[in-house]
Structures are given as C-alpha cells and as structure tokens.
Amino acid sequence: MARGAWIARAALRSIPGVRISGQDSFRTHRWHCHELGCLKILRRGGKNKVRMMGALVAVDLGASSGRVVAGRVVDSVVQSREIARFSHAPIQFPRYGKHDDAAGARPLSDTGRVPAIHWDLPRLWQKTVLALRTLENTDVASIGVDTWGVDYGFVAEGEVLGAIRSYRDQRTEGVAGEFVRTVGAQELYQVTGLQMQTFNTIFQLLADGKNEARRAELAVAEKILLLPDLLNFLLCGVMAAELTNASTTGLIDPVHRTWNSSVIERMGKAVGQDLGVKLPDLVQAGNCLGYLNQDVAQLGTTASPARIINVASHDTASAVIAAPLIERSAYISCGTWSLVGVELDSPVVTEASRKANFTNELGVDGTVRYLKNIMGMWVFNGCLAQLREYHPDLTVDKLSEAARSAPALRTVIDINHPVFTHPGDMCQRIQELAQLSDQPVPETPAEIARCVVDSLALAHARAVKEAAALANVDISSVTMVGGGIKNTLLCQLTADACGCPVTAGPVEATATGNLLIQARAHGDVGEDLSELRNIVRSSFDLIHFEPESSVEEWRSAERRVFTHHFL
C-alpha cells in the first residue's frame, strides 16, 4: 500500500466512533488501459476454462459532475480506474415575453419569472466521447450509462430536437396541481406510486404541452428518451427505455412494471397528442441494447465491438445495487440529493405513504426502492459556492472541518424546505428559516456549515424512521453510499440522530453498481443481488460509525422545527 493510503486510513481511524473493515479500498490499482483486457480463469465443474474478459466502462453522470470509470471483476473483487472526471452545471437563459413595439421585450425575470434552465448536452456528450476515445487501444467489452432521473429529450429522424430542460426549471409550477386536481391525488399515487414532485417527467411533459414551441417539438418527436436512454441512442442508434429510470417519470405502473396506459392516455388528452406511441419499449437492466458506433470511438475488436448494456440507468438504482445492505438495514444514497429508504419486494401505495411524500421507484431483480428525496449536499455546496466569494481558499474539506468546531444542534432547519429547490442565496435562506423558528441565526462559515450538516443528519433520521413505519419493517442499521459520505461528520451525525450504527461505503457506489450489472450481463459474476453485494464487501473498506450522543438531543432539536415528530 502507498504511504498516502496508510495516512488516509490512519486519519479515518482517528475519528471517534469510527472503525474500518474489509479490503483495502485505498490501494492504487497499477494497471493501465492496455492491461484492462485480461485472462480470467473460470473454475466450473472442477475444470479450468480460460477466456478473454474485456474492460467494462461505466459512464456515470450526476447532476453536478460526471465520471467515466473502466473496471473489471477479478476473483470477486472490483478493480476500477477513473478515466475522466468533469464538472458540469445547467445553463440559465433569460426568457422574454412577446412584444409588438420597437423597444423590445424585457426579461420575464424582471416580472418575477426566472430564466429557463437547460442541461449542457453538448458538453456532456463531448466529455463522454473524449473519455471513451482514450480507451481506443483497449479491449472494451461493454459500456453502461447512468444519470439522474426525470429529464428527457425528443428524437426525430435520428437526431436530438431542441434543448434538454433541467428539472430545476420552474416551468412546471402550477401545472402539477392542476393535473392532480383533475385526476385526484390519491388515485394518481395508487396507480403510479410516485411522490409528488413538480419536476417529475409527467409534469414536465404537461408544461411542454402548454408552451407553443415545446408543443411543436413534441408533435414532431418520434420518441421521448430519458437522459441515459438518449445517450445510449447516441452511442449505438437504438432507442429503448430502461425500467429503473423510467420509474421516475410518473408514467409507470409499479406493480406490473409496465408503462401505465391509463395515466398516459390522460396525459395525451391533456397535451393533445398520443404520447403512448412516443414512449420506447421498456427493457430490464442487463439488456444488451446494441453495439458502439465506431464513428464515436473505436472500442473493442473488429469482430466484436463494444456492446452498449442497459445498466440500472437511474444513478440511485445503481448506487443501491452497490450498497452492502444487510438484513434490517436502510440505505442513504448521499450526493446532490440524499435518497433515504428501504428495499422492498412490492410498492407501498397507502394514503399515509402518499401524505408522507414517499416514492416507489423500481430497482433491479423485481425490487422496489421505497424512499424519500432529501435535499442532500446541494445546500452545503450552494453555501460553499457563496462563501468562496469572501473566502476564496475555502474548500469542501476546510468547510467540513470548520463545522466540527461549531456548537452542535445550535440551529436546525427543515433542509427539505421548498426554498432550497432552486439555485440562489442558500446562506440567506438558512438565516431566514432560523429567524422564523426563533433560533440563533448562523453567521460564520462554521456556523452555517454546522447548521446544514446537523439539519441534513436530522432529515436522514426522520426519513429512516418514517420509512420503517410506513413499510412496516424494523430497521437496526443504516448503510450510506455516495460522494456525501466523504463528509465523515455527516456520517457520524446520521448515526447519532438515527440512534443506530451507520456503515459508510463505497463512495463511488453508482459507478460500481453500473460495472456489476455489466459484469453480470457478461456472465462474469453470479445472478443473485446478494452475491453482487458480497463482491462490494470484498472490494472496499467499509467505515463504521457508532452513535455517540443521545437521541433525546435530536428529539429536542426536531421539536424546534417540526410539528410531526418521528424520533
């Protein structure tokens, strides 16, 4: 192990309540691109079979950054190497009202409206292709793409039409309520199982139907493709909808795991178009969609170009695959969002579940990800970006360390408050919520950061307790994965607030889950989901956090802000 790895492990061990188990996840895999193709010995029936296993490539795009990872599974251990990492962000464009006079129009934002928010699809595509081309001398077996959910694009005559709107665009405001009043909130939840979020695909499409330009694009579109399906189409020319991501749309029947014809028919009437013909066929994770277009990148061999595999294309679904869950364990996939929930065999569509705003998204192998969306590191990172204007040298690590020194539970807020949904002055919003609840107003960077981390841990604990009650399951531990677990203070506080042990790891759970589904599609690992999770345990250090403070302290903090108590 490199000296730096020993230092990293020592630093983690120095944190009170933390212990490390498992294999050494800090070791550096010293293999290069041309070494990714390897001989693998399979022992079946007492005989050795030798065959070539090419590299597996995960294209993992989050809402604020993207990464391309090449890997393989050898002797039940995931070996992976980051090929590229890049940041990205939605682009804001001013919107102008219609006008007749020569003076021109003023931005709609001047009248209280906000700009249109688009994803930079050309940048995402360019960065992905450039990363793939660095592997052109590599034997690549397959590529899998995962992204966030709900957002989509239109395709006609083999090309992408128009812009890809971001779920943070506010064009859906008012649309959701209007449709829900028509259909009925209870009925809609019973047939879709999806929580009420104004950015759900179903409401974005309704908003498109009310916009003249977008309605025209929708009319000529041959297919509506969610973002990972759109990227797969660009890679191989085949259109399909992978189920885990499709389940975020509000257009899926979570019981039968099919497109929901009754909802789609009502949607079609609302927008004046037949949406059913514009939705592609559903496919399961592990499906081989096609072969990489060699004009994009020359990967694989002439006889066998790289395959495009439908992985669990919703990033949370891939992350949960790689969450080393044990019996009676909840999960938290912590990144821009914190997705907090439990893995079930069937959806929960009770009225209590609807009122609690829990969602039933679909996982692999017939599972249901019963969860709640919590504003994750989105608020923390928004505060960091603001604070850097006055403290240019401030980093995530420095701000996290500063939070440790600030008083615990001095000020807590509802981190899931709607005011945090859209970009803007996060620090001011925190201070205003503190004032409204008659708590000390955080002023310094350390106080603001501590408020965010305490509030996020409290939100995690409330969601875990609520999920357990609504799904009628007992929870005795929590597993955290994703980039947010690099904030070890958050992990420790989550253990404290939940009053149970927390196991954290791996950080790159989404890319790992992506790679594991590809490996399973090639027959390189076992079929069972528990077997995939055993591979994760063998591949990464898992960091354990034990509760250190009384849950009563968190109950007291909860009462300052919330009417309904779960702790």
Dist CA 503 CA 507 (whole Å): 12
Dist CA 280 CA 286 (whole Å): 17
Nearest C-alpha neighbor of 501 from the set 509, 486, 491? 491
The β-bridge relationship of strands 152-156 and 223-226 is antiparallel
In the annotation, is 315 catalytic?
yes
Dist CA 356 CA 80 (whole Å): 39
The structure tokens listed for 174 are 């008012």
Dist CA 155 CA 18 (whole Å): 50
The structure tokens listed for 213 are 């330009």
What does each C-alpha distance from 222 to 158, 276, 289 come to in angstroms? 9, 11, 19
Strand partners of residue 142: 56, 307
Largest Cα–Cα separation, the chain: 84
Nearest C-alpha neighbor of 80 from the set 539, 548, 468, 550? 539
The helix or strand, by DSSP H or E, that contains position 533, with its residue range, turns out to be helix 529-539
Instruction: Determine which one of 60, 229, 315, 454 is catalytic.
Output: 315
Helix 529-539, helix 509-521: angle, nearest 10: 130
Nearest C-alpha neighbor of 404 from the set 548, 265, 242? 548
Nearest C-alpha neighbor of 59 from the set 397, 306, 256? 306
Dist CA 526 CA 272 (whole Å): 47
CA pseudo-torsion sign 180, 185, 189, 194? positive
Nearest C-alpha neighbor of 554 from the set 478, 488, 462, 464? 462
Dist CA 399 CA 392 (whole Å): 12
Count the neighbouring beta carbons within 10 Å of the beta carbon of residue 191.
Answer: 18
Is the Cβ–Cβ distance between 80 and 44 less than 8 Å? no
Dist CA 61 CA 157 (whole Å): 26
What does each C-alpha distance from 548 to 154, 263, 499 come to in angstroms? 51, 48, 9
Cα end-to-end distance, the chain, whole Å: 42
**Residue ranges of the alpha helices (H) in 239-286?**
243-246, 261-271
- Looking at residue 430, what DSSP letter applies? H
Helix 261-271, helix 185-192: angle, nearest 10: 130
Tell me the catalytic residues. 315
